[in-house]
Amino acid sequence: MTGTKSPAPRRVPNFRRQAGRRDEIIAAALEVFFKHGYDQGRLEDVARLSGVGKSAVLYHFGSKLGLVASVVAEHCLPLVPLGNGSVDQQIETSLADPAATKVLRLVMMEQRRLPKLGRLYVTAILRRVSSWQGFDSIEVVRHAVAQAYGRLAGRVLLEGYPIIDGGPDGTASV
């Protein structure tokens, strides 16, 4: 009687075994897309930076857009708010987190070419802020986000500009 050989156990790829691999890929993607933008950022570069193959990136995220969506969702704001005060002050302080700042800049750079990215960002921000504490309604969250971003935009726009005084004839002078 000839013995049949049992099939060898299937090898499990490294990217499925290693805990935290998904987070490493997301961190690498943030760096690649922040540096090169969405169009020029390559999945191969993300894979190389995170120490996996391109197939591992696709296994976890499905596509380049899926990867960017995960980057935005994961790093739009920290998991817990930074700073104290009202919710809008916490949002504003949390936007100073380095990863959150990179995501915001990435979204601002790419939103015209990739409008879906802007929608992903807004959704991610609202979800993250909602997770910080219990809110009565989504409108409360939306209002706090609007207040924080309004103050942030005002600071960015006015930073470095001199204060405008009224001139001797009542007109503005710089």
Residue ranges, CATH 1.10.10.60, the chain: 17-75
Q: Which residues contact 23 (CB under 8 A, 6 or more apart)?
A: 74
Mean pLDDT over each residue of the chain, to the nearest integer: 85
Q: pLDDT of 42-67, one tens digit each?
A: 999 999 999 999 999 999 999 999 99
Q: Token digits for 83?
A: 């700073």
Q: Which CATH number fits domain 17-75: 3.90.76.10, 1.10.10.60, 1.10.3720.10, 2.30.40.10?
A: 1.10.10.60
- The whole-model pTM stands at 0.77
Q: Which residues contact 17 (CB under 8 A, 6 or more apart)?
A: none
